[in-house]
Structure 1
Amino acid sequence: MAKRDAIFPAGRQALYEINRYSAAIRSGNLLFVSGQVGSRDNGSAEPVFEKQVQLAFDNLAAVLTAAGCTFDDVVDVTTFHTDPAQQWEAIKTVRRKVIGDPPYPNWTAVGVNWLAGFDFEIKVIARIPQSS
């Protein structure tokens, strides 16, 4: 069996090592990105919700970049929310800045009651562009 082809953004691998998971796994021309949260460099949660969402998208962008991808390569998105009804407008604001023009990726939003001290998490599947 082939080893997993793990992808890590620069400077954050220690956080993944502590929790024993990879930021992303490359499989063929697909990239499966683990859930990204609005964590600061030390792993703590950003307390301001809007900033937490932006930081989660920033952390996701770093993983995508490490794999040679951008948000334009994302085909499937799943987000997790601790209070979807109250949080959705703030999430939409960040989402509009980050996700480009149509066609948009698939998107599934799930309400949850626990995210290890966070209020928002985003995971994606992206296609890895063919190198020229």
Structure 2
Amino acid sequence: MADRDVVYPANPHALYDHHRYSPAVRSKGFLFVSGQVGARQDGSPEPDLAAQVQLAFDNLNAILSAAGSSFANAVDVTLFMIDPEADFDTIWPVLQANWGEKPFPNITAVGVNWLAGFQFEIKVIARIPEEADHG
């Protein structure tokens, strides 16, 4: 395997090409996933916040799966929220439903003032199981 290669999900949404970035880069046994938002197939935001957060996780999980990994292999998670104080009670239950079992990854949550029309973004670094790393 090259020192790094790009991983695309099976059905990538339009934002990757529109903004010219890779969904994830696999390197040295780790997957560095770009921030994932609740983008519909055409790249537009899912308007309902809870559904937007779930779609962000769905988009994230599609990338992890394409690399032969899963959220259970996440080691570092960063959350970005436009209005954490107002939205936390909506975001947290969706996050918990997708979080899995112990051992949990570490997490950093950051309030930001712009996410290109989205209210939530999740960025992950995940380990790729050895079997998948050789594929």
Q: TM-score normalized by structure 1?
A: 0.93
Query: Counterpart in 2 of 1:56?
Result: 56
Per-residue deviation at 1:47?
A: 0.6
Q: Which runs of 5+ in 1 are unaligned?
A: none
Query: Counterpart in 2 of 1:108?
Result: 108
Equivalent-residue separation in structure 2 for 1:39 and 1:15 (angstroms): 8
Report the more deviating stretch, 11-20 or 108-117: 11-20
Per-residue deviation at 1:15?
A: 3.3
Q: Which runs of 5+ in 2 are unaligned?
A: none
Map residues 107-126 of structure 1 onto 2, 5 A cutoff.
107-126=107-126
Per-residue deviation at 1:13?
A: 6.2
Per-residue deviation at 1:14?
A: 4.8
Map residues 1-132 of structure 1 onto 2, 5 A cutoff.
4-12=4-12, 14-131=14-131
Alignment-mate amino acid for residue 36 of structure 1: Q
SS at match of 1:131: helix
Q: Percent identity?
A: 58
Q: RMSD in angstroms over aligned alpha carbons?
A: 1.5
Equivalent-residue separation in structure 1 for 2:4 and 2:13 (angstroms): 16
CA contact (8 A) 2:13 2:41 kept: no
Runs of 4+ in structure 1 deviating by more than 3 angstroms, as ranges, are none
Equivalent-residue separation in structure 1 for 2:82 and 2:44 (angstroms): 17
Report the more deviating stretch, 102-111 or 8-17: 8-17
Judged with a 3 Å threshold, the aligned counterparts in structure 2 of structure 1 residues 97 and 31 are, in CA distance, closer, same or farther, namely same
Q: TM-score normalized by structure 2?
A: 0.91
